[in-house]
């Protein structure tokens, strides 16, 4: 009997596992016992176990063996695999009820929380309990299961002030029930919950011991406030003088001491009695818990508890009484004191006088709140906070989380605006219905308010779309269109809201208009000044290496490793694989870490340029695929200098030698000669007394490296552009190549070999002229300006090393063949020497690189191909002598998918693409359609 009385003290909790295949209900009946109800959808067996793993676990198994239902306390001792557990010699469970049918096995039992059996799990009623389950739906084999998993039991309810918690007491809150209250030292503001002001209706049930107050509020709630002399529990039953078919409210007051902190632990339960025995919790009957604890205090001097709860007058739970009838009803009460588990004589019945229907709320309170909030908050939000949000979105792009801060500010503004605007619309419905008869400024205020709500809705959608594209590594070109619309719609919203604020002020009190106009003028001047500083920053900052004292030690080692590997010739692909989480870029010779930076154009840009030299894109010479051409501001240049790691010295490419080390060389070159090489294509020779140009560089890693060229002088605003050096078209190299071919033809190995040129005083570039305003190539071709700033070499070129092997494909167009001519010239010399060695020329160990290398050059051109004699001789030698070093394919047509498939007859080690932007985009798309891994495709 005592057991059943205890069951009313705590509500029952339920867990459904595997979509209801296993249903587990549980409740702590006291500090020593926990009651479980286990229901399994099987005809064979299921179990629950206590612990993280199956081995050495305390287990309760329910099974149907030959039509007999067994509930057993067991122990699993196997360490390696799932087996049938051993039945415990000491059975520490007390079976209350057990049954089975054609679908389910069902049992209710008690388990001790502090059993003296060493094989049983000890259960702490103030912590989470780790558990697991298993079930066999196919047969009675205890050594195998069909479903297995883990779960947790939360053995406590949070204190009524806590929404989430680490335990049941008031000092264990992690989040408050009221979202306006912050947790302080584990507690919510308790004064807020001590709201026990007198209600409008009162009934004295027991003089000086039990007083019941109640009222209705305008949200269709009934509020109960119970004042009772100190007790352990009490309950109310509605609409009956017995427990039969009665809606009941049960409140338990428990004294507890945890960590030397004494206090009271309050629990409430919505219950239903169907006969004169222990009532069921509504949740046990698949109903709902509808009573909410609002406040609770205890007066030490009088020993009185005052507890306030509320509930909807009419709920959807069929077990709840309908208070919306607001009629007097016969009700009952009971309570227990001093450890009393049964109410005994502490009970009674009374007429609950619900028909009094007194109201306690102020009818104009809500209206006043909306009105004041509309005036004060809308003024503050759209006169000041909106400008803070714009400042974050425009000028603080260097802040890593600028997108989120900007978005959160305006999302908060939008939600507040929706709330107060719709609140005002709800209040002013009569005015709105007669809008045509109102003052012009009120009509305009309403129209602009509706327009602001519409634009805000669109802006939220565009903002979320823009954010997803900005932060995603798989963003698209759509981001530019979305940002464009979002930006200018934001400008429109900004202007409208400022006008709306002025109109609102004129409606409220027109005497303040002058002050706000002055404020807006000052605000505009401040924004204009910030904008000018943003775009026309006075000077560039000095490059500073990231201070290692500000970052972790392992990050320091990581950065130093990146610089070291770059300068020792580690391949691009190896670098990307070795540092997958570091987004580093190279601008000229400087290496920068931009891993924690949100690119205003979208994070997918970093995916395309990671590990690359980005000058051509950064200075606005070329657009990245699927992006717009963009020249970065001095603000961007200054920001990136703060992310400096070190220098990529490019020492494997010694194209330039300084003539003297006594002074710092100047990178100012003079245009010496222009030589036409075809329609709109010329060879330009530059000279600089501070440098000598190396014409014989060992190795192959320098092929395809480039220099940046821009006019030197004041007032010359041209975007510097990269141009590839083509050494093989130097006159000295042309002469050497001619002499070497003649030597090859004569086959007289007694004669000395022609000597390859070493140094010259000219740096040569082949440049095609393109028409267009402020086009650098057109300006260079005019030959009217002689002095140019030329720096380099930069980049990774063709990303070859001495051991590069496999078939390397090239798809190029027009002057796109230029970056590959030095490689073809090398392969031509390698072919000549290879044949001569076979014919008896003493082996001098030259041209030993690229032994297992083959180049397949595909050129699309309607005009004569630059460097064609080199390609022609190389192709002839490879065909005549079966060298398998080179293939040449020339077409005047555009490539189709079939053309690409026909060309890709060998497994590709690399695929180079070089030409106009559209040509490169089309070829890359066709290559990907043909199954070429994008990591093998390299734009030159």
Token pair, residue 76, equals 């699993």
Higher pLDDT, 577 or 656: 577
What pLDDT was estimated at residue 258? Answer: 46
Contacts 24+ apart (CB under 8 A), 336-345: 336/231, 336/232, 336/233, 336/234, 337/230, 337/231, 337/232, 338/232, 339/232, 340/232, 341/2, 341/5, 341/6, 342/5
Token pair, residue 265, equals 């632990």
What pLDDT was estimated at residue 933? Answer: 85
pLDDT digits (tens, 9 = 90+) for 674-706: 888 888 888 899 988 888 888 777 778 788 888
**331 has which bridge partners?**
350
What pLDDT was estimated at residue 299? Answer: 77
The CA-atom distances, in angstroms, between 298 and each of 58, 89, 305, 911 are 42, 48, 5, 81
Q: How confident is the model at residue 1 (pLDDT cuts 50, 70, 90)?
A: very low
Domain covering 656-794 assigned CATH 3.60.10.10 in the classification: no
CB 217 within 8 A of CB 360: yes
Q: Which CATH number fits domain 806-939: 3.40.50.80, 1.10.260.40, 3.90.1640.10, 3.90.245.10?
A: 3.40.50.80
- On the question of pLDDT at 60 being above 90, the answer is yes
CB 176 within 8 A of CB 161: yes
What pLDDT was estimated at residue 617? Answer: 81
Angle, vertex CA 39, rays to CA 36 and CA 45, nearest 5: 110
Task: Please give the DSSP secondary-structure letter assigned to residue 85.
Answer: P
CA pair distance 351, 365, nearest whole angstrom: 33
CB 302 within 8 A of CB 212: no
For 611, left (φ over 0), alpha (ψ -120 to 50), or beta?
A: left
What pLDDT was estimated at residue 72? Answer: 92
CA pair distance 309, 622, nearest whole angstrom: 69
- On the question of pLDDT at 31 being above 70, the answer is no
CB 433 within 8 A of CB 446: no
What pLDDT was estimated at residue 198? Answer: 60
Q: Which helix (H) or strand (E) holds 249?
A: strand 246-258
Query: Across all residues in the chain, what is the average pLDDT?
Result: 79
Q: How confident is the model at residue 548 (pLDDT cuts 50, 70, 90)?
A: very low
CA pair distance 419, 25, nearest whole angstrom: 41
Residue 406: HSE in the Cβ half-sphere, 13 Å Cα cutoff = 25
pLDDT digits (tens, 9 = 90+) for 452-505: 889 888 888 888 877 776 666 665 666 677 777 888 888 888 888 888 888 888
CA pair distance 197, 610, nearest whole angstrom: 65
CA pair distance 439, 335, nearest whole angstrom: 64
Classify strands 57-65 and 68-76 as parallel, antiparallel or unpaired.
antiparallel
pLDDT digits (tens, 9 = 90+) for 855-907: 888 888 777 888 888 898 998 888 888 888 898 888 877 888 888 888 888 88
- Among the listed ranges 53-67, 366-380, 776-790, which one has the minimum average pLDDT value? 366-380
The residue with tokens 């100190």 is 230
What pLDDT was estimated at residue 71? Answer: 93
Distance from the first to the final alpha carbon of the chain: 87
pLDDT digits (tens, 9 = 90+) for 800-838: 887 888 889 999 888 888 889 988 988 888 888 888 888
- On the question of pLDDT at 399 being above 50, the answer is yes
CA pair distance 305, 791, nearest whole angstrom: 85
Token pair, residue 831, equals 């072919």
CA pair distance 295, 225, nearest whole angstrom: 9
Determine the number of helices (DSSP H) and then strands (DSSP E) in the chain.
20, 41
SS3 767: strand
CA pair distance 40, 105, nearest whole angstrom: 5
Q: What is the SS3 assignment for 506-539?
A: HHHHHHHHHHHHHHHHHHHHHHHHHHHHHHCCCC
CATH class of the 201-356 domain in this structure: mainly beta
pLDDT digits (tens, 9 = 90+) for 415-453: 888 888 888 887 777 567 656 656 778 888 888 888 988
The overall longest dimension of the chain from CA atoms, in Å, is 132
pTM of the predicted model, to two decimals?
0.51
The residue with tokens 């555009």 is 894
CB 791 within 8 A of CB 839: no
Cα torsion 909, 914, 917, 918: sign: negative
Q: How confident is the model at residue 537 (pLDDT cuts 50, 70, 90)?
A: low
Q: How confident is the model at residue 107 (pLDDT cuts 50, 70, 90)?
A: very high
- On the question of pLDDT at 586 being above 60, the answer is yes
What pLDDT was estimated at residue 42? Answer: 92
- On the question of pLDDT at 204 being above 80, the answer is no
- On the question of pLDDT at 20 being above 90, the answer is no
Higher pLDDT, 288 or 156: 288
Q: Which CATH number fits domain 2-154: 3.90.25.10, 2.60.40.1210, 3.40.50.720, 3.30.70.141?
A: 2.60.40.1210
Q: How confident is the model at residue 547 (pLDDT cuts 50, 70, 90)?
A: low
- On the question of pLDDT at 361 being above 70, the answer is no
CB 854 within 8 A of CB 807: yes
CA pair distance 170, 587, nearest whole angstrom: 58
Task: Please give the DSSP secondary-structure letter assigned to residue 624.
Answer: P
pLDDT digits (tens, 9 = 90+) for 627-666: 767 777 677 777 777 788 888 876 655 777 676 666 677 8
Classify strands 22-28 and 33-40 as parallel, antiparallel or unpaired.
antiparallel
- On the question of pLDDT at 98 being above 50, the answer is yes
Angle, vertex CA 713, rays to CA 709 and CA 714, nearest 5: 130
CATH class of the 548-647 domain in this structure: alpha beta
């Amino acid at each position: 009997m005592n057991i059943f009385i205890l069951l009313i003290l705590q509500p029952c909790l339920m867990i459904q596992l595997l979509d209801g295949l296993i249903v587990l209900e549980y409740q702590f009946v006291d500090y020593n016992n926990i009651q479980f109800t286990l229901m399994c959808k099987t005809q064979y067996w299921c179990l629950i176990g206590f612990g993280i793993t199956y081995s050495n676990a305390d287990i309760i198994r329910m099974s149907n063996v030959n039509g007999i239902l067994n509930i057993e306390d067991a122990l699993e001792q196997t360490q390696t695999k799932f087996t049938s557990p051993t039945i415990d010699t000491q059975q520490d469970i007390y079976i209350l009820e057990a049954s089975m049918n054609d679908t389910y096995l069902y049992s209710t039992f008690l388990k001790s929380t502090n059993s003296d059996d060493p094989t049983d799990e000890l259960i702490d009623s103030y912590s989470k309990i780790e558990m697991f389950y298993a079930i066999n739906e196919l047969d009675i084999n205890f050594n195998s299961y069909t479903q297995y998993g883990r779960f947790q039991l939360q053995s406590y309810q949070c204190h009524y002030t806590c929404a989430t918690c680490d335990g049941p007491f008031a000092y264990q809150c992690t989040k408050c029930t009221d979202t306006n209250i912050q947790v302080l030292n584990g507690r919510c503001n308790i004064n807020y919950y001590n709201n026990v002001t007198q209600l409008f209706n009162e009934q004295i049930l027991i003089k000086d011991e039990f007083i019941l107050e109640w009222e209705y509020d305008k949200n269709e709630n009934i509020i109960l406030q119970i004042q009772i002399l100190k007790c352990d529990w009490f309950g109310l039953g509605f609409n009956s003088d017995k427990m039969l078919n009665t809606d009941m409210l049960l409140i338990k007051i428990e004294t507890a001491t945890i960590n030397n902190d004494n206090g009271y632990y309050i629990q409430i339960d919505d219950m239903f009695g169907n006969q004169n025995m222990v009532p069921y919790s509504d949740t046990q009957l698949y109903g709902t818990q509808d009573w909410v604890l609002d406040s609770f205090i205890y007066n030490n001097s009088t020993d009185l508890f005052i507890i306030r709860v509320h509930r909807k007058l009419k709920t959807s739970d069929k077990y709840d009484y309908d208070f919306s009838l607001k009629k007097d009803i016969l009700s009952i009460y009971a309570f227990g004191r001093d450890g009393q588990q049964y109410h005994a004589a502490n009970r009674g019945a009374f007429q609950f006088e619900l028909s009094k229907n007194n109201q306690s709320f102020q009818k104009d309170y809500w209206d006043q709140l909306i009105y004041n909030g509309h005036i004060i908050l809308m003024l503050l939000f759209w006169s000041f906070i909106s400008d803070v949000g714009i400042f974050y979105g425009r000028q603080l792009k260097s802040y890593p989380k600028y997108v989120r801060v900007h978005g959160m500010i305006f999302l908060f503004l939008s939600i507040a605006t929706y709330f107060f605007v719709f609140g005002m619309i709800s209040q002013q419905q009569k005015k709105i219905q007669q809008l045509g008869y109102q003052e012009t400024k009120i009509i305009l205020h309403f129209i602009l308010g509706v327009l602001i709500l519409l634009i805000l809705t669109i802006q939220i959608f565009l903002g979320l779309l823009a954010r997803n594209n900005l932060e995603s590594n798989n963003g698209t070109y759509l981001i530019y269109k979305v940002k464009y619309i979002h930006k200018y719609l934001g400008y429109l919203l900004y202007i409208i809201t400022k006008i709306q604020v002025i109109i609102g002020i004129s409606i409220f009190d027109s005497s303040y208009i002058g002050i706000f106009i002055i404020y807006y003028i000052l605000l505009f001047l401040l924004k204009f000044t910030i904008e000018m500083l943003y775009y026309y920053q006075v000077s560039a900052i000095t490059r500073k290496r990231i201070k290692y004292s500000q970052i972790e030690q392992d990050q320091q080692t990581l950065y130093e490793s990146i610089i070291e590997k770059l300068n020792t010739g580690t391949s691009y692909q190896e670098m990307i694989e070795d540092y997958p989480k570091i987004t580093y870029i190279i601008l000229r010779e400087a290496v920068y870490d931009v891993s924690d930076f949100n690119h205003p154009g979208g994070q997918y840009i970093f995916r395309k340029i990671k590990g690359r030299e980005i000058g051509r894109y950064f200075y606005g010479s070329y657009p990245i695929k699927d992006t717009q051409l963009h020249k970065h501001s001095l603000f961007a240049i200054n920001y990136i200098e703060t992310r400096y790691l070190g220098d990529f010295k490019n020492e494997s490419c010694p194209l330039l030698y300084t003539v003297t080390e006594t002074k710092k060389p100047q990178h100012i070159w003079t245009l010496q000669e222009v030589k036409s090489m075809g329609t709109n294509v010329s060879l330009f020779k530059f000279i600089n007394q501070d440098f000598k140009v190396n014409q014989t560089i060992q190795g192959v890693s320098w092929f395809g490296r480039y220099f940046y060229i821009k006019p030197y002088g004041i007032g010359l605003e041209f975007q510097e552009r990269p141009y590839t050096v083509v050494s093989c078209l130097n006159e000295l190299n042309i002469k050497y190549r001619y002499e070497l071919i003649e030597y090859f033809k004569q086959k007289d190995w007694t004669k000395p070999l022609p000597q390859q040129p070493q140094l010259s005083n000219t740096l040569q570039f082949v440049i095609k002229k393109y028409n267009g305003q402020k086009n650098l190539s057109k300006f260079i071709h005019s030959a009217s300006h002689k002095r140019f700033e030329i720096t380099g070499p930069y980049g990774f070129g063709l990303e070859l090393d001495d051991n590069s092997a496999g078939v390397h494909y090239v798809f190029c167009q027009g002057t796109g063949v230029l970056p590959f001519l030095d490689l073809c010239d090398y392969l031509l010399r390698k072919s000549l020497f290879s044949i001569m060695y076979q014919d008896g020329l003493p082996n001098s160990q030259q041209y030993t690189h690229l032994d297992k290398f083959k180049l397949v050059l595909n050129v699309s051109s309607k005009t004569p191909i630059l460097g064609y004699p080199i390609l022609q001789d190389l192709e002839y030698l490879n065909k005549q002598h079966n060298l398998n070093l080179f293939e040449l394919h020339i077409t005047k047509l555009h490539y189709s998918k079939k053309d690409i498939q026909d060309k890709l007859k060998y497994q590709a080690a690399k695929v180079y693409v070089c030409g106009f932007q559209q040509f490169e985009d089309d070829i890359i798309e066709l290559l990907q359609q043909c199954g070429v891994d994008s990591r093998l495709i390299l734009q030159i």
